[in-house]
Amino acid sequence: MMGEDVRFDWRRGGAAAAGLVAALVLVAMVFLVKFANDAREKALADERHAYEVALVVRNANANVARAEAALARFVLDENKRKSGNVYANAWRDAGHQIKQLEALQRGNPQQQRRVAKAKQLYVKHGEELALAARAALASQGDAGISYFYAAFKEEENGPKSIGRQLDDELNGIIVSERAALRGRIEQSQLFAAQADRLTDYLSWLGIVVGLGAIFLGVVAVQALRQNAQARRHAESEAERAAALEDAVRDRTQELW
C-alpha cells in the first residue's frame, strides 16, 4: 500500500511539474510573440517613413527643376502672371518640402546634416535665381538672361554650380534612405517570419498544455477513486477487525 502511494505521488508530482513548465513556456512564448510583433510593426513604420522621405525629396527635386524651368521662360518672356508666378510658387514649394525633411529626419544625425546642407544650398541657389528674377521683373532684358546663365555656369575642372550641388545633396538623401530602406524591409520580413513561426509554436504548445490539463484531470479523478477505494477498504478492514475482536471476546467468555 505504501509503495503504491509513493508511486502515485511521484506520478502526480511529475505531471504537475510538467504542466507548470509547459505553462511557463507558454507565457514566455506569448511575450516572445508580442516582442516579435512589436519589432515587426516598428520595422514597418520605419519602412513607411523611408518611403515618405523619398517622396518628399523627389517632390523637392521636381519643384526645384520646375522653378528653374519657369525662371528660364520668365527671363525670356518677362511674363510675371504666367512664368513668373510658376517660378515663385515652385521655388516656395521646394523650400517647404526641405523644411518637411528637417522634421522627418529628427533623430537621424547623419541625414540631418545632409538636410541642413541642402537647406544652405537652397538659400544660396535662391539668391542666384532671385537676381535673374528681379531683372526679368524689372524688364531689364538681357540682364535677366545673363544672371540666369551665370547661376548655372561651371568652369572646366572647377566646382559644380550651386544648383548641381543642391541636386546632388537631395539625391544623397534618397540614396541613404534607400540603403536604410533595404535594411528595414529585411528586418520587417525577418520579424514577420519570426512572429509567424512563434505563433505556430504557440498554437502547438497550447495544444500540449491542453492535453496536459486533461491528463492532470484524469490523474486527479484516479486519485479520488483510489482514495475512496482505500477508505472503503480501511473501513471494511476495521469492521472485520471489530467483528473478529467481538468473536474472540465472546469465545473467551464462553470458555470462562
Give CA–CA dist 35/42, Å, rounded. 11
* Cβ contact 23:208 at 8 Å: no
What residue segments make up the domains of the chain, in order of their start?
2-231
pLDDT of residue 124: 95
Structure pTM?
A: 0.64
Could you give the C-alpha distances from 181 to 44, 47, 159, 173, in angstroms and in order? 10, 6, 31, 12
2-231 belongs to CATH 1.20.1330: yes
CB atoms within 10 A of CB 100: 18
CB atoms within 10 A of CB 96: 12
Tell how far CA 219 is from the center of its chain: 45
Give CA–CA dist 223/148, Å, rounded. 97
| 8-11 contact pairs (CB < 8 A, 24+) | 8/223, 8/226, 11/219
Q: Is the dihedral of CA 201, 207, 208, 210 positive or negative?
A: positive
Residue by residue, pLDDT tens for the chain (256 residues) are: 444 444 445 556 666 676 677 677 777 777 777 777 777 787 778 778 888 988 999 999 999 999 999 999 999 888 888 888 999 999 999 999 999 998 988 888 888 999 999 999 999 999 999 999 999 888 887 888 899 889 888 877 778 899 999 999 999 998 888 887 777 677 767 777 776 777 777 777 777 767 777 776 776 677 677 777 877 777 777 777 777 776 667 667 666 6
Residues 6+ apart with CB under 8 A from 107: none
Give CA–CA dist 177/46, Å, rounded. 10
